Structure 1
């Protein structure tokens, strides 16, 4: 069908697509690779998705003069913006948004501690350890307590 279908080249273009679409300096290559592999496996179970993925990856490579993999994140993002209304882009976005951010290695890179439920909640495991937010200003109102109705009943 296309020169990139079911090849390592297609996988590399897909990994690069994910990196350009979801750029994070601290996220290593592993989560992007795993997300690409899951996406390829998902597409293999549906001929339409498989064709959409293969054609989209081939198109990206063609739009990048044959080498999407070598583009920077900024240049890759610019190309992705050109195709953001295509079925390929929608499929990749829907799948990758869930799978990339459900990877424990991504969690660690972004500072997310994971699910709290199975670890007894956040209260005793750093609930208040956000050091990048300013301390909240807490003031109490010490004026008179007076009820001011917003609307009064009129008529019957």
Structure 2
């Protein structure tokens, strides 16, 4: 003989429309993004419901967990009507319960993979199907200033790539510096005659990058 539960709602194993509305509110409160469209949260709600349907255990846990939220409130309050700060406090009080862990895990793995959410966040998605990143602005750094240097009170000048470097006993110096072109320096002696020593074969000083 089957005995009915004292509270008939405890027999519920499927989500009602009201429970689904509570689920969507939980996702919005736990993952607040003002610029996310409503559709993203609604699809996330449906995803959680679908995941729960594949497991009797999670379906029961989720259904009963959603029903307990209003039971935690006093004076006939409803979770759907709470302001954001109070709704968040309620979720903090149930954050260790299994139904909320199921909601949180599923949302983390799926909400930020929603194509519309990716567009809002400015992520273009994987590159393989679009031919890679090479010709799609991979090296666009318009938001960074060009490299600039200041030498001994001289005005700031823009710098470009150096054609080569000369290694000295004290480190690596750029072509054109005194250590690189000094005839008596260890750098010139180590490099030997030639363009990279800063001295041309006929003894004339060679400017960096000049073609003889």
TM-score (norm 2): 0.58
* 1:55 corresponds to: 64
Compute the RMSD of aligned alpha carbons. Answer: 3.0
CA separation of 1:129 and 1:17: change in aligned 2, threshold 3 A:
farther
* 1:154 corresponds to: none
Which structure has the larger Rg over C-alpha atoms? 2
CA separation of 1:47 and 1:111: change in aligned 2, threshold 3 A:
same
Query: When you count helix as a share of all residues, which structure comes out higher?
Result: 1
Structure 2 unaligned regions, length at least 5: 1-8, 150-166, 173-212
1:27-42 to structure 2, matched below 5 A, reads 27-42=36-51
Query: When you count strand as a share of all residues, which structure comes out higher?
Result: 2
In the alignment, is the contact (CA less than 8 A) between 1:4 and 1:58 conserved in 2?
Answer: no
**Which structure exhibits the higher relative contact order, with contacts defined as CA atoms closer than 8 Å and separated by 6 or more residues?**
1
Distance in 1 (CA, whole Å) between partners of 2:33 and 2:95 is 20
Bigger Cα displacement from structure 2, 116-125 vs 37-46: 116-125
- Equivalent of 1:109, from 120, 143, 158? 120
Aligned-residue offset at 1:109: 1.7
Query: Would you say how many aligned residue pairs link Structure 1 and Structure 2?
Result: 144
Aligned-residue offset at 1:64: 4.2
- Equivalent of 2:29, from 20, 23, 30? 20
In the alignment, is the contact (CA less than 8 A) between 1:83 and 1:89 conserved in 2?
Answer: yes
1:118-129 to structure 2, matched below 5 A, reads 118-128=129-139
Aligned-residue offset at 1:52: 0.8
Aligned-residue offset at 1:11: 0.8
Instruction: Give CA-to-partner distance per residue, 1:109-134, whole Å, 9 cap, x none.
Output: 22221222211223332335577x76
CA separation of 1:118 and 1:98: change in aligned 2, threshold 3 A:
same
Aligned-residue offset at 1:35: 1.1
CA separation of 1:44 and 1:109: change in aligned 2, threshold 3 A:
same
